[in-house]
């Protein structure tokens, strides 16, 4: 099993009590017990709440929630909150903001919005993981660490360009080797200095996001970005391991997501977890293959089904409800393919914003 503290199939999911008023929390606990929920994932997107400014860290709300859950027989999968940086960070340190595929500097907003090669992002993300590890290292209710959330997305900023050149130098050794590997004599693309190499995007070699003049540079940039995001994961993982060497560390992957080299990522994770969101017309055989792919990243051990929706999604072209029995069927399919958990996004539906229409164990109506 994933963790001997709770040697069973874990049942639960993402829980965001900070979005709701306190009077809702007792009702949540009552219904969690009624449903048999025993694990809640906390703190996924709470960086701004945990760190309202550069120097202040406040985990009071998190203390209360972890204690409250544990006192009621519910354990915590504790996330590091670094999946979206706070507004103050973007304002004071604009290097954390990504540059998009068209070469535009992002403003604050959305999520997956941090440059993986930003020194500022890496410093504060590692520091947050370190603070959390120190604070909760002895808490009996914490089962597993959940670093960031659904890593993905690329950046094309100057920091990434400089880091890409260093990555290439380490990989190829010389510019001559780069030129040979990329066949740069075609169209007069020979490089004579490292700083002549720029990220391949809509301003240089690519168009439509998946078409390129030079396959070599485009493929290498994708491997580089995957490695850059993996370095961010490892920074947080190592900060946590310093305090809790025996607690497993994971981050939630996304099946056949092609932007990251999950085979390389799997080697760095204690437990593989992933988010399963088939569309209404996804063949069940494809979902089975995705489970097998995730299980295969760490051969011989179970994986976590970190997220699935109990009812409808909110981002597919058609967001159909599940027929009675389908959620049980899909959950059993995951367990049959090697999952040690059945977990959902999310346990109570969001009060507002873009995921208010995404299904949850407890819907807005709030009944059993």
Catalytically active residues, by annotation: 150, 307
Instruction: Collect all residues with Cβ–Cβ distance below 8 Å to 340 and sequence separation of at least 6.
Output: 1, 2, 9, 10, 302, 303, 304
Q: CA 105 to CA 151: how far, in whole Å?
A: 20
DSSP 144: E
Measuring CA to CA, which residue among 334, 278, 281 is closest to residue 304?
334
CA angle 239, 241, 243 (to 5 degrees): 85
Half-sphere exposure of 357 (CA within 13 A, CB side): 9
Measuring CA to CA, which residue among 34, 36, 25 is closest to residue 69?
25
Furthest-apart CA pair in the chain: how many Å? 69
Instruction: Collect all residues with Cβ–Cβ distance below 8 Å to 72 and sequence separation of at least 6.
Output: 29, 32, 33
Measuring CA to CA, which residue among 189, 191, 197 is closest to residue 162?
197
Residue 86: how many other CB atoms lie within 10 Å: 21
Q: Which residue has the tokens 């593989």?
A: 272
Phi then psi for residue 190, to 5 deg, are -60, 135
Question: What region does 22 belong to: left with phi over 0, alpha with psi -120 to 50, or beta?
Answer: alpha
218: three-class secondary structure by DSSP? helix
Question: What region does 300 belong to: left with phi over 0, alpha with psi -120 to 50, or beta?
Answer: left
Written as six digits, the tokens of 259 are 């932007």
Half-sphere exposure of 295 (CA within 13 A, CB side): 18
Cis peptide before 346 (omega within 30 of 0): yes
């Amino acid at each position: 099993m994933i963790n001997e503290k709770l040697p069973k199939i874990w049942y639960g999911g993402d829980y965001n009590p900070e979005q709701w008023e306190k009077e809702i929390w007792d009702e949540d606990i009552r219904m969690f017990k009624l449903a048999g929920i025993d694990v809640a994932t906390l703190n996924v997107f709470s960086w701004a709440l945990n760190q309202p400014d550069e120097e202040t860290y406040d985990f009071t709300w998190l203390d209360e929630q972890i204690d409250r859950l544990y006192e009621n027989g519910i354990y915590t999968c504790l996330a590091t909150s670094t999946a979206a940086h706070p507004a103050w960070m973007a304002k004071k340190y604009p290097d954390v903001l990504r540059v998009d595929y068209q070469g535009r500097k992002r403003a604050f907003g959305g999520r997956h919005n941090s440059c993986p090669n930003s020194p500022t992002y890496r410093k504060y993300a590692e520091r947050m993981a370190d603070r959390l590890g120190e604070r909760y290292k002895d808490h009996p209710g914490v089962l597993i660490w959940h670093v960031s959330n659904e890593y993905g997305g690329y950046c094309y900023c100057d920091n990434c360009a400089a880091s890409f050149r260093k990555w290439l130098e380490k990989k190829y050794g010389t510019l001559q080797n780069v030129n040979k590997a990329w066949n740069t004599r075609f169209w007069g693309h020979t490089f004579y200095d490292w700083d002549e190499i720029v990220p391949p995007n809509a301003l240089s070699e690519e168009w439509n996001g998946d078409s390129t003049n030079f396959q070599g540079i485009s493929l290498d940039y994708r491997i580089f970005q995957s490695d850059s995001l993996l370095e961010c994961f490892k920074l947080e993982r190592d900060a946590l391991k310093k305090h809790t060497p025996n607690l497993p560390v994971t981050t939630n992957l996304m099946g056949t997501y092609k932007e990251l080299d999950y085979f390389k990522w799997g080697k760095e994770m204690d437990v593989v977890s992933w988010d399963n969101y088939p569309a209404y017309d996804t063949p069940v055989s494809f979902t089975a293959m995705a489970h097998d792919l995730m299980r295969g990243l760490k051969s011989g051990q179970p994986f976590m089904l970190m997220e699935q929706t109990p009812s409808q999604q909110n981002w597919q072209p058609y967001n159909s409800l599940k027929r009675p029995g389908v959620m049980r069927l899909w959950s059993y399919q995951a367990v049959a393919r090697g999952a040690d958990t059945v977990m959902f996004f999310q346990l109570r539906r969001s009060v507002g914003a873009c995921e208010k229409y995404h299904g949850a164990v407890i819907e807005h109506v709030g009944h059993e």
